[in-house]
């Protein structure tokens, strides 16, 4: 590795400034937005990989073969000032000042309201950039002030605060991982958010798919001040620097940059059943159809089931797109039973064909596999207790083959969704060759890209087969941009209280990194089955995540099912019904996620940065802006200590309506049947029928008012549509607009509605849930009608 030092100015072309570094390398700065500047280093003036699949600002189209790294399509390219002196190049936008110093170092300053500038980030002055001499490794260093708080990196174990640790991005099938300590895991998300000691936040996103490491203050070197580093095994050093100034704004900018979240169907929010046990059984079809009977018998609301890979087995191994007709003699009859019960199916598919797969020789002859680096043959890698070859999704013929099999083997059999699994592409011959859409690429440069293109191919197959429906897909592995196509989860966790606890923080890390639609395997995927107490607490936490799935491959040959412990089945049912009760709130958040880039899971500080106590590590989190979740994650606990963020309004207990001021720690009762849940004062919470059999019956039917305890005003909305189609884009929706305002004399709720969706005379009840500290129920006027202890009812289509 060699440190880069000298630079000279070459030219400014449009919004790109080119510098010559050490007489041979090209460093370019792109002024893309007032708060977004990109830095690109081309070793010897050439790209190592000249395309990106991660950058899609303002929803610009992304070709399957990628986007040129030099493209600035979708960016506003604002005016900026430029000044060149003997030892510095200074660029100024309306929000940032960027100074390139000698020896090579960049300093980032945020502009204050008074026009002054404040340093927020500073590259290491004693060597900020290093490149390989005989290889293509590269490194980048920032100073790390003691009061910086660093977050992000997506799906990482341990605390949400990343300071003082070293993390690796190298997608692995981390079966049975420990959510507190295991690293690396499944996803490649090289993005950090930093909140400086002055309260200004910024993000840094490295657009490189090669394996890499982040050291965030773990490493100490006597020759440098405290620093943080990014080290990549290969690829181009290409990063985007984004100014918040809040952490929430940084998160939303990352989504804007890498692509909006897909808006999945409403049923994706319902309980999804799954287990490897059923499809591994010799009588798999009987076991699977029995699930439909059991959810009815136990009155468990359910919307979908995820079909594990055992349906493709030959012996003990899995063979993608190969139906085992001995275990599943009549797939269409099986899928019909699920669909008739309102339960959608998603089938597990894998991107590697074992060497004895019935279709292996044909696929090899067509050249659809990644090729070995030396021999003229498909690469061979360990996969599912054997060896196999991975499909090359940078080959258009592979994409066509994949889409045809998804259509013929799944969609035409009544399985409408794909579960893209085991797609970490653990190919350790980094020089194995990919077709690259006509420009050969070594797999080490783009390993996570294959999981991304796999899910895109599945997405396109689903869209082409059912163009009127919004698609639903799942993927375990991925890279920036995965949110455009799929919902994801944190992989194969192990049963244990510690994993329940730290999966919460793992999900929040994903959400802060721009991956919002997430969840965990409830109950633990591997290990022994959870005991009744742990299972209840895991379900109570799981129902408050966007993805709620009970899934397992227990090594004690048991299966996690909602009814597996009769003594707590009523508590499991109640927890799932609570999710149903809140479904209008969930679905509105899902819509806002897609339209406004709003995260669903939020660390408490994301909306309360002015409250320093919210930055303490906690098991609490926000669901949207208005619900505070205090999951019980300690064995034997019957009370829960909760810090209520200082939001200026205070909080109500969801079930009792008791009011508490913000900015204080309280202790609440938490017997096994209770999930402590708090609602922000000044909220109107939309509710549905808790006993509905699935989300199709979870229409808005009530509004619970949690009034202000003083003066205040909030605007809220509830979104509804048919839950499955794209017609909402043409105005076929029903959006209830609500304004809750409070004076010293009264509280007023004003309601009106937009959209053309017919509501069939549905009536909505409005009631006051919150109580004053003295126990009195405030009087609220709803569209001119005073209510206090009574419930007011109106017809939705009258608004």
Out of 258, 283, 302, pick the residue that ends a domain: 258
Q: Flag whether 533 is in a domain.
A: no
Residue 716's contacts (CB-CB under 8 Å, 6 or more residues apart) are 683, 684, 737, 738, 739, 740
Q: Flag whether 265 is in a domain.
A: no
659 Cα distance to chain centroid: 32
Q: Would you call the peptide bond into 744 cis, given omega within 30 degrees of 0 as the criterion?
A: no
Instruction: Count Cβ atoms below 10 Å from residue 91 Cβ, excluding itself.
Output: 20
Q: In this predicted structure, what is the pLDDT of residue 483?
A: 98
Q: Please check whether residue 127 is in contact with residue 133, taking contact to mean a CB–CB distance below 8 angstroms.
A: no
Task: Give the Cα separation of 405 and 411 in Å (integer).
Answer: 9
Is residue 107 classed as helix, strand or coil in its secondary structure?
strand
Q: Work out how many domains the chain is built from and give that number.
A: 2
Instruction: Count Cβ atoms below 10 Å from residue 405 Cβ, excluding itself.
Output: 17
Q: In this predicted structure, what is the pLDDT of residue 786?
A: 86
Q: In this predicted structure, what is the pLDDT of residue 798?
A: 66
Q: In this predicted structure, what is the pLDDT of residue 248?
A: 98
Alpha-carbon Rg of the chain, whole angstroms? 27
Strand partners, 188: none
Read off the tokens for 713.
């005003």
Q: In this predicted structure, what is the pLDDT of residue 797?
A: 67
Q: Flag whether 698 is in a domain.
A: yes
Q: In this predicted structure, what is the pLDDT of residue 787?
A: 83
Is residue 610 classed as helix, strand or coil in its secondary structure?
coil
Q: Which of 133, 102, 140, 306 is nearest to 230 (CA)?
A: 140
Q: Flag whether 351 is in a domain.
A: no
Task: Give the Cα separation of 278 and 276 in Å (integer).
Answer: 6
Read off the tokens for 165.
């640790």
Out of 258, 274, 292, pick the residue that ends a domain: 258
Q: Which of 242, 248, 245 is nearest to 31 (CA)?
A: 242
Q: In this predicted structure, what is the pLDDT of residue 656?
A: 94
Q: Please check whether residue 498 is in contact with residue 527, taking contact to mean a CB–CB distance below 8 angstroms.
A: no
Q: Flag whether 182 is in a domain.
A: no
What CATH number has the domain bearing residue 781?
2.60.40.1180
How many C-alpha atoms does 480 have within 13 Å on its Cβ side?
Answer: 30
Task: Give the Cα separation of 551 and 272 in Å (integer).
Answer: 9
Is residue 352 classed as helix, strand or coil in its secondary structure?
strand
- Tracing tokens 């620093």 back to the chain, one arrives at 227
Phi, psi of 278 (to 5 degrees): -65, -50
Q: What angle do CA 350, 452, 441 make, to 5 degrees?
A: 100
Q: Flag whether 20 is in a domain.
A: yes
Task: Give the Cα separation of 161 and 173 in Å (integer).
Answer: 24
- Tracing tokens 């003691």 back to the chain, one arrives at 146
> How buried is residue 317: exposed, middle or buried, by Cβ count under 10 Å (0-12/13-18/19+)?
middle
Read off the tokens for 520.
């965990």
Q: In this predicted structure, what is the pLDDT of residue 799?
A: 65
What CATH number has the domain bearing residue 35?
2.60.40.1760
Q: Which residues of the chain have pLDDT under 70?
A: 774-777, 789-790, 797-799
Out of 221, 243, 258, pick the residue that ends a domain: 258
Q: In this predicted structure, what is the pLDDT of residue 759?
A: 85
Q: Flag whether 307 is in a domain.
A: no
Q: What share of the chain is helix, strand, coil (3-state, %, to 5)?
A: 20, 30, 45
Phi, psi of 215 (to 5 degrees): -110, 115
Q: In this predicted structure, what is the pLDDT of residue 785?
A: 87
Q: Would you call the peptide bond into 245 cis, given omega within 30 degrees of 0 as the criterion?
A: yes
How many C-alpha atoms does 677 have within 13 Å on its Cβ side?
Answer: 19
346 Cα distance to chain centroid: 19
Q: Flag whether 330 is in a domain.
A: no
Domain limits at 668? 594-798
Task: Give the Cα separation of 513 and 261 in Å (integer).
Answer: 13
């Amino acid at each position: 590795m060699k440190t880069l030092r000298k630079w000279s100015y070459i030219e400014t072309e449009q919004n790109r400034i080119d510098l010559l570094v050490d007489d041979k390398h090209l460093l370019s700065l792109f002024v893309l937005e007032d708060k977004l500047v990109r830095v690109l280093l081309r070793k010897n003036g050439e790209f190592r990989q000249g395309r990106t699949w991660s950058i899609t600002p303002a929803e610009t189209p992304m070709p399957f073969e990628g986007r040129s790294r030099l493209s600035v399509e979708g960016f506003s390219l604002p005016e900026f000032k430029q000044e060149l002196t003997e030892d510095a190049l200074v660029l100024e936008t309306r929000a940032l000042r960027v100074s390139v110093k000698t020896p090579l170092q960049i300093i980032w300053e945020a502009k204050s309201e008074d026009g002054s500038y404040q340093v927020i980030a500073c590259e290491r002055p004693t060597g900020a950039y290093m490149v390989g001499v005989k290889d293509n490794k590269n490194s980048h260093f920032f100073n790390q002030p003691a009061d910086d708080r660093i977050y992000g990196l997506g799906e990482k174990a341990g605390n949400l605060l990343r300071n003082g640790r070293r993390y690796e991005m190298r997608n692995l099938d981390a079966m049975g991982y420990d959510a507190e300590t295991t690293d690396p895991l499944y996803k490649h998300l090289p993005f950090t958010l930093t909140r400086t000691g002055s309260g200004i936040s910024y993000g840094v996103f490295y657009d490189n798919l090669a394996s890499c490491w982040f050291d965030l203050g773990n490493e100490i070197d006597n020759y440098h001040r405290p620093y943080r580093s990014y080290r990549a095994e290969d690829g181009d050093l290409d990063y985007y620097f984004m100014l918040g100034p809040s952490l929430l704004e940084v998160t939303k900018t990352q989504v804007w940059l890498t692509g909006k979240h897909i808006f999945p169907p409403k049923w994706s929010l319902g309980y999804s059943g799954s287990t490897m046990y059923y499809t591994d059984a010799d009588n798999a079809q009987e076991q699977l159809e029995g699930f439909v009977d059991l959810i009815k018998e136990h009155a468990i609301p359910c919307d979908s089931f995820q079909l594990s890979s055992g349906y493709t087995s030959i012996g003990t191994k899995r063979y993608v797109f190969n139906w085992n007709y001995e275990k599943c003699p009549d797939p269409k009859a099986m899928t019909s039973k699920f669909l008739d019960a309102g339960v959608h199916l998603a089938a597990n598919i894998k991107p590697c064909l074992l060497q004895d797969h019935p279709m292996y020789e044909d696929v090899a002859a067509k050249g659809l596999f990644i090729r070995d680096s030396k021999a003229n043959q498909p690469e061979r890698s360990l996969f599912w207790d054997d060896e196999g070859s991975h499909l090359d999704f940078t080959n258009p013929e592979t994409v066509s083959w994949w889409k045809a099999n998804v259509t013929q083997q799944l969609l035409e059999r009544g399985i409408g969704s794909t579960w893209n699994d085991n797609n970490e592409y653990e190919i350790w011959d980094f020089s194995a060759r990919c077709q690259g859409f006509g420009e050969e690429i070594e797999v080490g440069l783009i390993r996570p890209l294959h999981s991304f293109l796999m899910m895109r191919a599945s997405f396109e197959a689903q869209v082409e087969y059912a163009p009127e429906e919004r698609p639903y897909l799942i993927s375990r592995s991925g890279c920036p941009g995965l949110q455009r196509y799929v919902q994801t989860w944190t992989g194969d966790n192990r049963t244990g209280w510690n994993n329940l606890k730290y999966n919460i923080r793992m999900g929040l890390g994903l959400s802060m990194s721009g991956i919002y639609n997430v969840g965990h395997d409830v109950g633990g995927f591997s290990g022994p089955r959870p005991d009744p107490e742990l299972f209840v607490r895991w379900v109570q936490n799981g129902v408050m995540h966007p993805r709620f799935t009970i899934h397992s491959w227990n090594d004690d040959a048991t299966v996690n099912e909602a009814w597996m412990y009769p003594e707590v089945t009523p508590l499991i049912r109640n927890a799932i019904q609570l999710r149903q009760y809140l479904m209008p709130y969930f679905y509105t958040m899902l819509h806002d996620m897609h339209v406004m880039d709003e995260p669903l899971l939020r660390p408490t500080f994301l909306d309360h940065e002015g409250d320093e106590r919210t930055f303490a590590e906690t098991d609490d989190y926000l669901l949207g802006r208005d619900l505070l979740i205090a999951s019980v994650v300690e064995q034997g606990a019957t009370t829960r200590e909760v810090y209520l963020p200082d939001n200026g309004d205070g909080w109500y207990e969801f079930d009792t309506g008791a009011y508490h001021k913000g900015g204080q720690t309280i202790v609440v009762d938490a017997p096994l049947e209770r999930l402590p849940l708090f609602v922000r004062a000044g909220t109107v919470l939309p509710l549905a029928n808790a006993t509905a059999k699935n989300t199709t019956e979870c229409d808005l039917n009530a509004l619970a008012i949690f009034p202000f305890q003083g003066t205040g005003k909030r605007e809220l909305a509830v979104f509804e549509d048919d839950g499955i189609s794209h017609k909402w884009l043409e105005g076929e929706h029903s959006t209830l607009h609500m304004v809750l305002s409070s004076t010293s004399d009264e509280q007023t709720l004003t309601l009106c509605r937009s959209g053309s969706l017919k509501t069939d005379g549905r009536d909505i009840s409005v009631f006051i849930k919150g109580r004053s500290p003295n126990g009195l129920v405030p009087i609220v006027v709803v569209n001119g009608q005073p209510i206090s202890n009574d419930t007011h009812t109106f017809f939705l289509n009258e608004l």
